[in-house]
Amino acid sequence: LAKTTQPISMDSYEGQEVNITCSHNNIATNDYITWYQQFPSQGPRFIIQGYKTKVTNEVASLFIPADRKSSTLSLPRVSLSDTAVYYCLPGSGAGSYQLTFGKGTKLSVIP
Amino acid sequence: GAGVSQSPRYKVAKRGQDVALRCDPISGHVSLFWYQQALGQGPEFLTYFQNEAQLDKSGLPSDRFFAERPEGSVSTLKIQRTQQEDSAVYLCASSSRAPNTEAFFGQGTRLTVV
């Protein structure tokens, strides 16, 4: 399983764009990169998943460079409700099912 | 229901007591997972079911932990002779198929062993 490194915490003001970068140097060829969000007293929630280049959905964008050794989750114009822990999970390649969460990045959005 | 449902939401057990935690996955979801989350940590994998078959129980911390899914739907995580280090949030998740797919989590059961 690929080991990940993320900032432990980040602060941002409302309305700003937030970028959270995750390093995963030994990602396997068939691994996808998935990001989950977890609010207090809730289970994690899937945000976005990608394999390479850029993926965008209604919630976030995911940027993955060509070497795939890192990925960046981009949250446009954050609001107070985006305050949560964000987890980067490389893995879930073909035949895999186990999600390895790590400690995540605690994002605090300040009014 | 629309999502994964877990019960009870909170459980306080005396040390040595047995507990049973229930998970109702999303209807039709083949895969079911249990995770344990200690305070301030990310969730850690416990076990995985595909329908009624328990394909991986490598994350169960000891033989006091037991999980079942007899009819391929509802699952129960049982902890025998609870100890203080078992205090954590226990999360259940389900997905329509295992690889490369979105997992839907329940709100969890917070277990406190006193």
Could you give the CA distance from residue B22 to residue B75 in angstroms, rounded to a whole number? 6
**Residue from B6, B54, B96, B100 to probe the interface with A (highest A Cβ count within 10 Å):** B100
Answer with the residue of higher pLDDT: B58 or A30. B58
Q: With bands split at pLDDT 50, 70 and 90, how would you rate the model's confidence at A25?
A: confident
For residue B107, which residues of chain A lie inside 8 Å, CB to CB? 41-43
**Tens digit of each residue's pLDDT (9 = 90 or more) over A54-80:** 999 999 999 999 999 999 999 999 999
B42 alpha-carbon distance from chain centroid: 15
B75, B83 contact by CB (below 8 A): no
Whether the per-residue pLDDT at A2 is higher than 80: the answer is: no
C-alpha pair distances (Å), B73 with each of A95, B5, B32, B46, B95: 22, 12, 9, 18, 12
The DSSP 8-state label assigned to residue B25 in this structure reads P
Interchain pair B91, A41: CB under 8 A: no
Exposed/middle/buried for B14, CB within 10 Å: 0-12, 13-18, 19+?
A: exposed
Distance from CA of B69 to the nearest CA of A (A): 17
What's the average model confidence in pLDDT over A43-60? 94
Query: Peptide bond before A7: cis, by omega within 30 degrees of 0?
Result: no
How close is the nearest chain B Cα to the Cα of A22, in Å?
15
Contact between residue A22 and residue A102 where contact means Cβ atoms under 8 Å apart: no
Averaged pLDDT in 10-residue chunks for chain B of 114 residues: 91 98 95 94 94 94 97 97 98 79 92 98
